[in-house]
Amino acid sequence: MTDKNVTENFITQIIDADLASGKHNKILTRFPPEPNGYLHVGHAKAICLNFGLAQDYKATCNLRFDDTNPEKESNEYAESIKNDIKWLGFDWGENNFHASDYFEQLYGFAVQLIEKGVAYVDDQSIEEIRENRGNYTTPGKNSPYRDRSVEENLTLFKAMRAGDFADGAKVLRAKIDMLSGNINMRDPVLYRIKRMHHINTGDAWCIYPMYDFTHCLSDAIEGITHSLCTLEFEDHRPLYDWVIDNVDIECHPQQIEFSRLNVSYTITSKRKLNQLVEENLVDGWDDPRMSTISGMRRRGYPPEAIRSFVKDVGISKKESVISMTVLEDSVRNVLNKTAPRVMGVLRPLKVVIENYPEDKVEILTGSNHPQDESFGSREIPFSREIYVEQSDYKENANRKFFRLTEGREVRLRHAYYITCKEAIKDAEGNVIELRCTYDPESRGGTADGRKVKGTIHWISAAHAEPIEVRLYDRLFNHPKPASVENFLDTINPDSLEIIHNAMLEPGIVDQNSDAAYQFERNAYFKRDKTYEKDKPIFNQVVTMRDSWAKLEQES
């Protein structure tokens, strides 16, 4: 593995060739989000590619807000985008721009197109324009306003800007070819009239430039060398080039398309994610089940895991859906190395150790990471009453069950061997307590060579910290939710399970830290940003592979 952000691919080959030939001596990339929602895992790919290439080539990547649709854009979204990029570990330095920074220049370029006779003001309604554009089988029809004189077009376009016409009354269109096989080239709309307050330019404008006109020219104004975008823009490339070729500007960036990142069981569309938020189907954009970058952050995914996932997926032109498991494995790989181990009991069952003194408390030592001594160790109190996991007891267990059942001995992690004597049941027959004895000679978990196969986690009852735990499953139960007519029909009703009375060993909650922990034998967890009735909440980041099932099947 290289220490580069981006492994070699067809784009790095183009860049290398451009640097070798002297076409460029330095590259400049950009990440151009529209601030109309929170970023998702797909955007992480575009961020890691554009900012990653800039780092690899000791160059710069601009952050440019593509803010041409004021009705959908907000500063909240713009701020969240900046946060997410920084959190992923990238930096735009001084280079945070907006397409709206160029509105005056863009207006000037539009005037140039009119003067050249390749743009005209059209009085048709948007519906008529759509109707007359035709489709793949039907050619487009020329607008009756297509042959207006340059003078008339200039006067009308100025009047559009001055606010002389109602919203939607006129548009500016490029005059290209209504018969083109590429529908994007059938006289695309360049400007529309829309009285809307803009997050940057306020009420200065009542006409706004369209994406296809704005994007290429913003790239050219900034001197972008390689304009990287997803494959759906391939058909827009002729227009990208046409606009730049027809105005007076030196720089002509090269648009290069790559395939989108799709992950199974997730949605990668801001519009659909917005729908989940608007309809209160999730707890906001950063709900830990969301495929947003902020959701993954709140869930506890480390940024390195997302970066290494994107790097492993690679860059190509091939459309594919990457399995969610690949992303989760990447999270596990990072957390396995970085998460301290602690003991947390999700569904507590009380154990009374009958031969342990009533008021004695011993302080035992537990290592914080079994494979990495640099994590050090911690002190863990032990006493007569402890909690173990309900699932670690089984009545009438066969000999392949290595945990607690009458007469069987198990090892308590970092502590003693205990033997289960009796299970106490309530009136309904539920096991509510275990009576056990311990072997005082087995402190630290070793004793006279007896074979004890099972090791279980526990917490001293008097010292345990009550916590709320949230277990997550996939938000959708269809591998391609976006392919279903209404993706909301594929929502998994069991994607969140709340455990109100879990227990955590002492000393962890007070650390108030942002770290993810491995609750040994359970899963990785990270503290949520919110509290429930003064009780800390821990989100399950990702499960571990269930080693019990394997061990108990083998023997």
User: Using CA atoms, how far apart are residues 31 and 434, in angstroms rounded to an integer?
Assistant: 59
Smallest separation, CB 229 to ligand ATP (Å): 5
**Residue of 260, 272, 394, 435 marked active site:** 260
Count CA atoms within 13 Å of residue 83 on its CB side: 17
DSSP category for residue 369: -
| 142 φ, ψ (degrees, to nearest 5) | -65, 145
Residue 34 known to be catalytic = yes
Residue 270 known to be catalytic = yes
**Residue of 34, 73, 257, 409 marked active site:** 34
User: Using CA atoms, how far apart are residues 541 and 518, in angstroms rounded to an integer?
Assistant: 9
Smallest separation, CB 427 to ligand ATP (Å): 55
What's at 188, amino acid-wise? P
> Which of 432, 355, 428 is closest to 393 using CA atoms?
432
Element (H, E) at 30: strand 28-31
Query: Which single residue brings its beta carbon nearest to ligand ATP?
Result: 42
For residue 478 the two structure tokens come to 């269809």
Let me know: does 226 contact 253? Beta carbons within 8 Å. Answer: yes
- DSSP per-residue string spanning 373-396: GGG-EEEEEE-SEEEEEGGGB-TT
Closer residue to ligand ATP in complex, CB, 34/409: 34
Smallest separation, CB 175 to ligand ATP (Å): 27
Closer residue to ligand ATP in complex, CB, 113/229: 229
Count CA atoms within 13 Å of residue 536 on its CB side: 21
User: Using CA atoms, how far apart are residues 409 and 437, in angstroms rounded to an integer?
Assistant: 9
**Residue of 64, 175, 186, 270 marked active site:** 270
Strand ranges inside 450-519, DSSP E: 455-456, 459-460, 465-472, 496-504, 516-519
Residue 521 known to be catalytic = no
Smallest separation, CB 50 to ligand ATP (Å): 8
Closer residue to ligand ATP in complex, CB, 313/504: 313
User: Using CA atoms, how far apart are residues 240 and 216, in angstroms rounded to an integer?
Assistant: 5
Smallest separation, CB 211 to ligand ATP (Å): 8
User: Using CA atoms, how far apart are residues 293 and 148, in angstroms rounded to an integer?
Assistant: 49
Smallest separation, CB 89 to ligand ATP (Å): 17
For residue 99 the two structure tokens come to 């397409």
User: Using CA atoms, how far apart are residues 218 and 243, in angstroms rounded to an integer?
Assistant: 11
Closer residue to ligand ATP in complex, CB, 263/452: 263
For residue 221 the two structure tokens come to 């104004």
Closer residue to ligand ATP in complex, CB, 24/260: 260
Chain residues in the site for ligand ATP (CB under 6 A) = 32-34, 42-43, 45-46, 229-230, 260-261, 268-270
Closer residue to ligand ATP in complex, CB, 201/269: 269
Strand partners, 465: 504
Smallest separation, CB 261 to ligand ATP (Å): 4
Let me know: does 104 contact 204? Beta carbons within 8 Å. Answer: no
Smallest separation, CB 310 to ligand ATP (Å): 9
User: Using CA atoms, how far apart are residues 204 and 347, in angstroms rounded to an integer?
Assistant: 60
For residue 243 the two structure tokens come to 């606009």
Smallest separation, CB 225 to ligand ATP (Å): 16
Closer residue to ligand ATP in complex, CB, 49/343: 49
Closer residue to ligand ATP in complex, CB, 54/261: 261
Closer residue to ligand ATP in complex, CB, 258/356: 258
| 168 φ, ψ (degrees, to nearest 5) | 80, -5
Torsional sign, CA 197, 200, 204, 205: negative
Smallest separation, CB 215 to ligand ATP (Å): 9
Strand partners, 378: 366
CA-to-CA separations, 267 to 205, 375, 491, 540, in angstroms, rounded: 34, 37, 11, 20
User: Using CA atoms, how far apart are residues 277 and 266, in angstroms rounded to an integer?
Assistant: 15
For residue 183 the two structure tokens come to 């529908």
Closer residue to ligand ATP in complex, CB, 33/340: 33
* Residue labelled with tokens 């940024």: 303
Q: Which residues are catalytic?
A: 34, 260, 270
